[in-house]
Amino acid sequence: MLLLVDLDGVVYRGAEPVPGVPAVLAARVAAGDDVVYVTNNSMWYRADYVERLSGMGAPVSPDRIVSSARATALYLREMKPPVRRVLVVGGPGLVHEIRDAGIEVLFSADAAERWIANGRDAAAAVGTVDAVVVGLDLEFTYARLACAAEAVRAGARFVATNRDPIYPHEKGFMPGAGSVVAAIAAASLCEPVSIGKPGPLLLEVAAHAAGRDAADAVMIGDSTVTDLPAAHAVGARSVLMLTGITTRAQVAALPAAAQPDEIAEDASELAAALDRLAARTATV
C-alpha cells in the first residue's frame, strides 16, 4: 500500500513522538508498503524532517517528505506570468524551499525593519514583489502584517501554504498558519489561493513522489477538517487518528459520506486498521 502520513498529531506532538506510531510505520515499510509524509506545516525544510523522523525511528528519506512549503514552491515555479520575487511571511523551511525553486525571497523580517526605518511606508519597505506567500510565522508582528497587506493590495498574488487555524504540540495547541493568513486577508481585503490540505495538491504531489496515484493511497491523519476532505478529494482511503486534534464524538457527528474508512486511538489500533485495509486491497 501507499501510506500518506500526516505528521503533527499523528507521528508526533511537538517534540514528542506519538507512542508506537514510528514503529508501526517501520513495520509497514518492512512489509513492502511505501510511506510518504504529508504535512501542512510549512516551517521546516525537508532535511529537518528527515533528522527528526529518523531520530524517532520512523522510516524516512528526503524525497518522501512533501510539506506545504515544498508544494507551494513547486506551485510558484509553475505560475504564469512567472513569479520572480516574493515576500515570505513564514518560517525558514518555507524560505529555503522557495529559494530551491529559483525564486528570489524578501523575508518579512527584513521588510518589517525597512517599514520602521521608512516611517511606516510599507510600499517603500517591500518594493515590487510578484507574490506574497504566507505560512506559519512564530514571530509575526504588526509590521509584517502591514507590509504583507500592502503588497497584496498593490497587486501581488496572495498564496497561503495552508489555512489550519491551530496545530497540536506536546503542551496543547498553538495558532496555525491559517491564523496568520486570516490577519493578512482581513487587512488586504483579499482571499488567498491555499495549497495545503484539504485541497488535493499535497496528496497528489506526495503520491507522485512514490511513483503512485493518490487514489490508490491510504491517508493517515488526525483532522476531519483537512486530512479527511483531502483524502476524499483524491479518492483515497483514510485512517483517522484520535491522537491529535479530533475526538471520537466529533467523528461520530460527521455525515456518512465524510466518515473515515478506519479510526484508531493509538498505535496498536493503527496497526490493526492497516492490516484490515491491506487485506481488503489484496482481495480486490
Question: Which domain range does residue 17 map to?
Answer: 2-40+197-283
- Domain identity same for 202 and 182: no
Answer whether residue 152 is part of any domain. yes
Among 152, 169, 194, the domain boundary falls at: 194
Answer whether residue 273 is part of any domain. yes
pLDDT digits (tens, 9 = 90+) for 122-136: 999 999 999 999 999
Answer whether residue 242 is part of any domain. yes
Single out the catalytic residue among 8, 34, 130, 164.
8
Answer whether residue 178 is part of any domain. yes
In this predicted structure, the answer to whether residue 205 has a pLDDT above a threshold of 90 is no
Number of domains in the chain: 2
How does residue 69 score in pLDDT terms, banded at 50, 70 and 90?
A: very high
Closest CA to 32 of 210, 231, 283: 210
Single out the catalytic residue among 6, 34, 222, 227.
6
Which residue matches cell numbers 524516512?
Answer: 60
- Domain identity same for 238 and 177: no
Tell me, yes or no, if 6 is annotated catalytic: yes
pLDDT digits (tens, 9 = 90+) for 176-202: 999 999 999 999 999 999 999 999 989
User: What integer best gives the mean pLDDT of the chain?
Assistant: 94
In this predicted structure, the answer to whether residue 169 has a pLDDT above a threshold of 90 is no
In this predicted structure, the answer to whether residue 167 has a pLDDT above a threshold of 90 is no
CATH number of the domain to which 250 belongs: 3.40.50.1000
In this predicted structure, the answer to whether residue 255 has a pLDDT above a threshold of 80 is yes
Tell me, yes or no, if 8 is annotated catalytic: yes
How does residue 110 score in pLDDT terms, banded at 50, 70 and 90?
A: very high
